[in-house]
Amino acid sequence: MAIEKNFLIINKLGLHARAATQLAELAMAFDAKISLTQGDKTADADSVLGLMLLESSQGKEVLVRCDGPDQHAALSAIGNLIEAKFNEDE
């Protein structure tokens, strides 16, 4: 059964190319289907272009959904990355 959690995008530049690349690379490390949803748009977490098309800017909330053997670890790791502002210096 899939798990999901909402996260607030707090980094200044939002889910831009560098942040989307980091998230996609992290998502590929887990044995789970991971997606992000913002409003009526959903993207696979392993797709940089898909993530960028969500247009998740600072202050927007995204729903992260994970399903698979590594779902708990994946949700935790992705949540940590988002909460750490994608490791960006602002």
| Active site residues per annotation | 16
The angle that helices 71-83 and 17-28 make with each other, rounded to 10 degrees, is 160
Which amino acid does the sequence have at 69?
A: P
Q: Which two tokens stand for residue 41?
A: 């748009």
DSSP label of 29: T
